[in-house]
């Protein structure tokens, strides 16, 4: 018994199997977590080696180059970049997307094990660090305070950070910008010199006084007593009274030579949120944890936690990846629902029968739910890609069911009992249905094999659409016949009774349409040359249009986030930086009413973790994090998008001459996921000579600033920094018996301070730092006046053994693929990646490049080129596959060729739609064009197959073409319209994140609409041109004359 | 005794079997899938791409009275579902063994 026969004969089993599948699917859906994109593992590993005391050039020569040469042998390596700076070498290894990083890190460890002995002796062991998207903060909270500001760190650490850390999945909670308590012993150098004291001595005495020492225990009678000496300071003021020396019979106390203040540490970072001083709390997740779940839990706990804090502390959310994720997913879910509705309406419109429509509509949930089961078993998430896949599939899953149902209905109308009609009706079409499904699968399955970042994104799409379509076919040949047998009854023609009255005009309209189309086809088959040439001309024009459509790598989306980072000259101190930050903050708020929260941090905090690892750490750095009002709210008030606001910010920042370097990144650059941020055009300048490459970089940067759409042009190599350098005279030092290291420690303890001991209070520890009082460390003379003591206790002034000079420190040395490199990069504003890249390439061509220097594009442009060429290969592969599937189906070389002629028109439609809507050609639009190959040939198959059938039934060529066209118009229109209308909600967009999927929707709608119309007109003409009315030789041979 | 050869569109398989049961005709031979076309009207039943529908055929030997009842019943069935295609042929027959 065939599968469809069993299904019809055993309705209970069939229904229950499908209900079982639905239950499993709903169960899976509930267990699936939500994310923005499929899980992307950043294929990057880095090797960090520190070598104290070595200059950037030494590090490059002795560590970085050796590491690079050995690490280059690791397999799957795509790119190797490095940064050599004073004391440190960072080598970053970038792998192909989707590589196994565990394997790679083992390989790297092997290499490091081998090379370790060749590294300089004093260098530390190289450390292997794995980057992960989980290092990206998932949430920034802010806390502002008035009276409690000084104690903010302790309060937040205990009452907020610790409880939050206990939430499942939270990786780290760090507090940035909070003031920290410190006990300062500020020494007056003149006074200690007078008493022959040193900073070190004072520090040591404080350390020795501040001690708790257990002294054993002792039995007194029958009891045992522990003996303890509690010398620790119970109050910080006690430090003042510590005796540090005896001078002339007098006790010298700390307070005699220094001031002791229990205060907050000198800040290196200043955070302002909406103009109030505050702190930022950065929350990172554990690898593999779900951002949305964590964020929800945090938001649930926050109100409780806030109650335990003093009332003047206000806590709010500065940035939360989860709101954007849930917003995007919700708006996409909405579009899927609309798509479902549209598809059902189209089916009802064409079939005109409620029961038939219900039978068809039921295949949609049954098939889509298979997608969720797949996601659960592969550990996937509900994300933009998986939901878009469902949206694409929704219009296609009904096609097979429609074909099966129509044929069964035909049998019922001929008088067969529904049960028999269901079995025999399905029997006639089930092979054809499977064959058309194969063509679709031939397109979508190869999508799972694309390499690179595109592969990661579209793997899910390929699998989901393939699985959903296959399941829909299975449902079409089991569930549909079963339901038809149970639900449909014989009815000769529509009675138009009751509600059915509305179908009367529809039927009339469709009849008119059929006749109109038949007349059109009879015109095209008699004017074949004109039709074919006309279509060809349209295709050529569209190719010309393509040159007008700009290209980009990935669409940017408005997530209501604008970040900016600025750099002042290196010499700027925190006060100066803060005042500029303030000025900018006020201007931004004034000029952009769209701003909801503005947070600015001046300087950089060494505690801030991720930011400090990659950002610039120095008192000269300013970073803005701006949250705009909700996009819907902004649209309702006719306010600007994030790009425009970014542009305003750029203009304002550019007005300040103090700012040497800045970058405004609408979209937050990274925070919202890999693709949320902006793309950049990067140009690499390779070459060993610093001066040459810097000169070229400057020249190129100047030219790139003139390119329309280029913003924030920056050069990766820092400008030479001015620094103070102490040059010790070794011979003189030697005569006094001091080593450079001792001398350097002396200087460090006086300027930076000596960590003498820890002051304990309420279980917390605070640093006790001894150093020169601030007025004595403000000039070069102050350094020169530092007194060094040798082993004999003889005092030597620093100026006697060393000179202090101002000098440029050499920059960091960056390398890529084992060559020194400078990168000139530009962000984009109001222009597509492709345009700016082309303009930059023109400028590069104009450059006069000396020998030994190479200039090449890199960054998004390079990725785009690679992805585009990957996709092109994929397109060829898919066309071949589809051709093979169709050729076997028709057992002909000619028929698939005729059908494939509809493919170019799909591309025409895509280009046209992009051009009309002014959307750049992105990777998504290209992927869509590839998918369209599978979708549009379906129409061709239906028409050509039926024309063949008419010819086999003995109709003359042109008559067959016209009859077939007339009778297949409705099925073609129906399957095309379900897909087109299913995509319209996606194309209209509007919700959060819609920028990402709008191009997909627009491209499918455009491509499919255009190709359907042209297929309907051109395929009949081409068919008639490629076949002839003459009887084939085979048939002629078989003819027997009577 | 009469031989009755019934050729019908495949969808009529079940109704005809029911009919034979109702008339208590026990013996028959059935070909589930046969191909052919009608002499006057209707589409060919070839089971091909162009003409996908198929026939089934039954040959049964029955008494003369029963044959008459059967033919009448088949005629009514055919009138009800004309498009399915149904033909029956009757001729004399004798029992061999």
Residues A626-650: tens digit of each pLDDT: 888 877 777 777 777 777 888 888 8
Percent of chain A past pLDDT 90, that is, above it, reads 10
Query: How many helices (H) and strands (E) would you count in chain A?
Result: 36, 30
Phi-psi region of B47 (alpha: psi -120 to 50; beta: other; left: phi over 0): left
Chain A residues whose CB is inside 8 A of the B15 CB are 417, 420
How many distinct structural domains can be found in chain B? 1
Q: Place A677 in a pLDDT band, splitting at 50, 70 and 90.
A: very low
Interchain CB distance below 8 Å, A424 and B82: no
Return the residue matching tokens 């208590």.
B24
pLDDT interval class at A676 (50, 70, 90): very low
* B34 vs A: CB within 8 A: no
For residue A416, the chain B residues in CB contact (below 8 A) are 9, 11-12, 81, 84
Task: Provide CB contacts within 8 A for A404, sequence distance 6+.
Answer: A425, A426, A429, A430, A433, A476, A477, A480, A481, A484
What pLDDT, on the 0 to 100 scale, is given for residue A609?
A: 38
The per-residue pLDDT for A785 is 86
Which residues, including other chains, have CB under 8 Å from residue A585's CB and lie 6 or more apart?
A272, A275, A598, A600, A624
Confidence band, pLDDT 50/70/90 cuts, at residue A779: confident
- Cβ A558 vs Cβ A676: under 8 Å: no
Gap between the Cα atoms of A544 and A291, Å rounded: 45
The enclosing H or E element of A482 equals: helix A452-487
| Mean pLDDT computed over A772-783 | 84
User: Can you name the residues that pair with A91 across neighbouring β-strands?
Assistant: A47, A82
**Could A414 and B81 be called an inter-chain contact, meaning their C-beta atoms sit closer than 8 Å?**
yes
Among B9, B10, B11, B82, the strongest candidate for a mutation testing the A interface, having the largest count of A CBs within 10 A, is B11
> Is 80 exceeded by the pLDDT of residue A1012?
yes
pLDDT value at A320 more than 60: yes
Q: Which residues of A touch B78 (CB under 8 A)?
A: none
Can you tell me the distance from the alpha carbon of A692 to that of B78, in angstroms, rounded to the nearest whole number?
Answer: 97
Residue B64 lies in a domain: yes
| Residue A672 pLDDT greater than 50, yes or no | no
pTM of the model: 0.77
Count of beta carbons in the 10 Å neighbourhood of residue A286:
14
pLDDT at position A1037: 67
Residue A156: which residues within 8 A CB-CB, separation 6 or more? A143, A175, A178, A279, A281, A309, A313
Classify residue B97: in a domain, yes or no: no
User: How many Å apart are CA A151 and CA A142, to the nearest integer?
Assistant: 15
Lookup: tokens for A189: 């150098």
Test mutation, A420, A481, A488, chain B, max B CBs within 10 A: A420
Residues A232-248 have pLDDT tens digits of 888 888 888 888 888 88
Banded pLDDT at A790 (limits 50, 70, 90): confident
Task: Tell whether the model's pLDDT for residue B5 goes beyond 90.
Answer: yes
Average pLDDT over residues A578-594: 85
| ipTM of the shown complex | 0.79
In the block, tokens 């969808």 appear at B11
Beta strand ranges found along B2-97 (DSSP E)? 2-9, 29-34, 55-62, 86-92
Angle among Cα A291, A295, A300 to the nearest 5 degrees reads 150
| A955, closest residue in chain B (CA to CA) | B50
Chain B residues inside the 8 Å CB shell of A430: none
Bridge partners for A130 per DSSP? A45
Q: Name the DSSP letter for residue A489.
A: -
As a dihedral over the C-alpha atoms of residue A172, residue A176, residue A179, residue A184, rounded to 10 degrees, the angle is: 80
Q: Which residues contact A661 (CB under 8 A, 6 or more apart)?
A: A566, A567, A714
**Is A12 exposed, middle or buried (CB count within 10 Å of its CB: 0-12, 13-18, 19+)?**
exposed
Angle A959-A1015-A950 from CA coordinates, rounded to 5° = 25
Going from the C-alpha of A386 to that of each of A443, A456, A933, B76, the distances in angstroms are 17, 12, 20, 57
Confidence of residue B70 (pLDDT cuts 50, 70, 90): very high
Flag if B83 and A421 touch (Cβ within 8 Å). Answer: no
Give the pLDDT score at A674.
39
Rounded Cα–Cα distance for residues A140 and A319 (Å): 5
Closest-CA residue to A64 (of A814, A999, A840): A814
- Alpha-helical regions (H) of A182-307: 189-194, 199-209, 254-257, 291-307
Query: Lowest-pLDDT range, A513-522, A834-843, A890-899, A902-911?
Result: A834-843
C-alpha A608/C-alpha A613 separation (Å) is 8
CATH (domain of B33)? 3.30.70.120
- Say whether pLDDT at A922 is over 60: yes
Q: Kind of pairing, strands A764-772 and A181-187?
A: parallel
Q: How confident is the model at residue A472 (pLDDT cuts 50, 70, 90)?
A: very high
Report if residue B70 sits inside a domain.
Answer: yes
The residues with which A246 forms a beta bridge, in sequence order, are: A251
Q: Which has more confidence, A513 or A325?
A: A513
Find the residue in B nearest to A422 (Cα). Answer: B11
Asked if A419 lies within 8 A of B14 by C-beta distance, the reply is yes
Note down the domain range covering B13: 2-92
Question: Does residue B83 sit at the A interface (CB-CB below 8 Å)?
Answer: yes
3-state secondary structure A139-191: EEEEEECCHHHHHHHHHHHHHHHHHHHCCCCEEEEEEECCCCEEEEEEECHHH
Neighbours of A593 (CB within 10 A): 12
Through-space distance between the first and last CA atoms of chain A, rounded to whole angstroms: 44
Tokens for A937, please give them. Answer: 């040939």
pLDDT at B69 over 90: yes
Report phi then psi at A616, rounded to 5: -85, 130
CA distance A297 to A291: 10
Cβ burial, residue A341 (10 Å; 0-12/13-18/19+):
middle
CA atoms in the 13 A half-sphere facing the CB of A652: 22
Mutate to test the interface with A, among B35, B49, B77, B83 (most CBs of A within 10 A): B49
Greater model confidence, B57 or A818: B57
Lowest mean pLDDT among A253-257, A285-289, A884-888, B38-42: A285-289
pLDDT(A497) > 70:
no
Tokens of A611: 């930011």
Which of A430, A438, A477 minimizes the C-alpha distance to A887? A438
Q: What is the DSSP letter of A97?
A: T
Average pLDDT score over chain A: 83
Q: Is A709 left (phi over 0), alpha (psi -120 to 50) or beta?
A: left
Cβ atoms A254, A241 nearer than 8 A:
yes
What percent of chain A has a predicted confidence (pLDDT) above 70? 92
> What is the signed CA dihedral for A456, A458, A460, A466, rounded to 10 degrees?
-150
Per residue in A372-392, pLDDT (tens digit) is 999 988 888 888 888 888 888
């Amino acid at each position: 018994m065939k599968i469809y026969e069993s299904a019809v004969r055993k309705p209970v089993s069939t229904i229950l199997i499908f209900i079982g599948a639905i239950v499993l699917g709903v169960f899976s859906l509930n267990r699936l977590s939500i994310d923005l994109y499929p899980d992307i593992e950043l294929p990057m590993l880095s090797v960090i080696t520190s070598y104290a005391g070595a200059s950037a050039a030494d590090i490059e020569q002795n560590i970085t180059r050796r590491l690079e040469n050995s690490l280059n042998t690791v397999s799957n390596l795509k790119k190797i970049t490095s940064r050599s700076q004073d004391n440190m070498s960072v080598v970053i290894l970038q792998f192909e997307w989707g590589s196994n990083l565990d394997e790679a890190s083992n390989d790297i460890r092997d290499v490091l094990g081998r090379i370790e002995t060749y590294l300089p002796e004093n260098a530390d062991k190289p450390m292997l660090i794995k980057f992960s998207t989980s290092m990206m903060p998932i949430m920034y909270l802010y806390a502002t305070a008035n009276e409690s500001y000084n104690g903010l760190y302790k309060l937040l650490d205990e009452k907020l950070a610790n409880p939050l850390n206990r939430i499942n999945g939270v990786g780290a909670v760090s507090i940035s910008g909070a003031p920290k308590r410190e006990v300062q012993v500020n020494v007056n150098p003149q006074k200690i010199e007078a008493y022959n004291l040193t900073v070190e001595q004072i520090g040591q005495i404080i350390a020795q006084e501040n001690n708790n020492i257990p002294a054993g225990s002792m039995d007194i009678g029958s009891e045992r007593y522990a003996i303890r000496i509690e010398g620790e300071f119970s109050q910080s003021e006690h430090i003042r009274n510590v005796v540090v020396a005896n001078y002339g019979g007098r006790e010298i106390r700390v307070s005699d030579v220094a001031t002791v203040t229990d205060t907050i540490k000198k800040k290196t970072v200043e955070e302002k949120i909406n103009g109030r001083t505050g702190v930022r709390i950065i929350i990172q997740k554990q690898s593999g944890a779900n951002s949305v779940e964590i964020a929800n839990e945090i938001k649930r706990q926050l109100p409780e936690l806030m109650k335990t804090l003093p009332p003047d502390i206000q806590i709010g959310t500065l940035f939360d990846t989860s709101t954007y994720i849930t917003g995007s997913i919700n708006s996409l879910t909405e579009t899927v629902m609309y798509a479902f509705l549209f598809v059902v309406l189209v089916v009802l419109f064409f079939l005109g029968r409620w029961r038939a429509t219900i039978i068809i509509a039921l295949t949609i949930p049954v098939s889509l739910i298979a997608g969720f089961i797949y996601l659960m078993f592969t550990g996937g998430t509900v994300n933009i890609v998986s939901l878009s896949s469902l949206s694409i599939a929704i219009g296609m899953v009904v096609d097979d069911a429609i074909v099966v149902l129509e044929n069964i209905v035909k049998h019922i109308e001929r008088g067969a009992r529904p049960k028999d009609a269901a079995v025999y009706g399905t029997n006639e079409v089930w092979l054809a249905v499977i064959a058309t499904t194969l063509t679709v699968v031939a397109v979508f399955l190869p999508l799972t094999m694309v390499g690179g970042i595109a592969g990661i994104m579209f793997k899910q799409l390929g699998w989901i659409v393939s699985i959903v379509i296959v399941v829909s076919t299975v449902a079409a040949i089991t569930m549909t016949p079963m339901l038809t047998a149970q639900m449909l009854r014989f009815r000769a023609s529509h009675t138009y009774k009751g509600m059915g009255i509305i179908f009367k005009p529809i039927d009339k309209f469709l009849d008119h349409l059929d006749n109109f189309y038949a007349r059109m086809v009879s015109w095209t088959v008699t004017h074949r040359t004109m039709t074919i040439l006309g279509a060809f001309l349209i295709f050529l024009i569209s190719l010309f249009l393509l040159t007008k459509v700009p290209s980009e790598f990935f669409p940017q989306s408005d997530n209501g986030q604008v970040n900016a980072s600025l750099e002042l000259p290196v010499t700027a101190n925190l006060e100066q930086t803060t005042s500029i930050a303030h000025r900018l903050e006020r201007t931004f708020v004034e000029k952009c009413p769209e701003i909801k929260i503005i947070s600015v941090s001046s300087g950089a905090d060494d505690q801030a973790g991720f930011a400090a690892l990659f950002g610039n750490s120095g008192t000269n750095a300013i970073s803005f994090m701006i949250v705009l009002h909700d996009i819907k709210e902004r649209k309702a008030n006719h306010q600007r998008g994030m790009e425009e606001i970014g542009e305003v910010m750029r203009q304002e920042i550019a007005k300040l001459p103090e700012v040497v370097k800045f970058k405004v990144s609408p979209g937050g650059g990274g925070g919202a996921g890999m693709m949320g941020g902006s793309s950049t055009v990067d140009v690499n300048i390779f070459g060993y000579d610093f001066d040459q490459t810097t000169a070229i970089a400057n020249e190129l940067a100047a030219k790139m600033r003139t390119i329309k759409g280029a913003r924030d042009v920056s050069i990766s190599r820092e400008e030479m920094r001015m620094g103070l350098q102490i040059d010790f005279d070794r011979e003189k030092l030697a005569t006094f018996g001091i080593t450079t290291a001792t001398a350097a420690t002396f200087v460090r303890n006086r300027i930076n301070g000596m960590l003498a001991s820890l002051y304990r209070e309420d279980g917390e520890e605070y640093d006790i730092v001894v150093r020169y009082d601030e007025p004595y460390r403000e000039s070069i003379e102050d350094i020169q006046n530092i007194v060094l003591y040798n082993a004999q206790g003889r005092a030597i002034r620093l100026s006697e053994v060393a000179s202090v000079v101002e000098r440029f420190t050499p920059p960091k040395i960056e390398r890529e693929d084992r060559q020194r490199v400078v990168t000139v990069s530009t962000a984009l504003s109001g222009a597509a990646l492709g345009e700016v890249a082309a303009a930059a390439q023109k400028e590069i061509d104009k450059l006069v490049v000396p020998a030994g220097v190479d200039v090449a594009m890199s960054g998004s442009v390079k990725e785009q080129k690679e992805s585009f060429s990957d996709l092109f290969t994929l397109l060829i592969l898919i066309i071949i596959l589809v051709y093979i599937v169709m050729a076997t189906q028709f057992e002909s070389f000619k028929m698939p060729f005729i059908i494939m002629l509809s493919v170019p028109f799909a591309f025409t439609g895509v280009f046209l739609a992009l051009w009309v809507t002014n959307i750049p050609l992105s990777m998504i639009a290209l992927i869509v064009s590839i998918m369209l190959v599978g979708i549009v040939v379906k129409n061709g198959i239906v028409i050509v197959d039926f024309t063949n059938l008419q010819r086999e039934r003995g109709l003359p060529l042109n008559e067959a073409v016209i009859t077939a066209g007339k009778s297949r118009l409705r099925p073609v229109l129906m399957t095309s319209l379900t897909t087109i209308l299913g995509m319209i909600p996606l194309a209209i967009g509007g919700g959060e994140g819609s920028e990402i999927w709008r191009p997909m929707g627009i491209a499918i709608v455009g491509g499919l609409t255009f190709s359907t119309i042209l297929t309907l007109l051109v395929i009949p003409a081409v068919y008639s041109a490629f076949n002839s009315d003459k009887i084939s030789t085979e048939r002629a041979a078989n003819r027997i004359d009577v | 005794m009469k031989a009755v050869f019934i050729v019908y569109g495949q969808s009529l398989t079940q109704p005809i079997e029911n009919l034979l049961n109702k008339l208590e005709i026990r013996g028959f031979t059935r070909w589930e899938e046969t191909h052919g076309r009608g002499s006057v009207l209707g589409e060919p039943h070839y089971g091909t791409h162009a003409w996908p529908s198929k026939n089934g055929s039954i040959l049964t030997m029955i008494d003369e009275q029963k044959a008459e009842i059967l033919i009448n019943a088949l005629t009514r069935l055919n009138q009800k579902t004309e498009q399915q295609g149904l033909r029956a042929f009757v001729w004399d027959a004798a029992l061999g063994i």
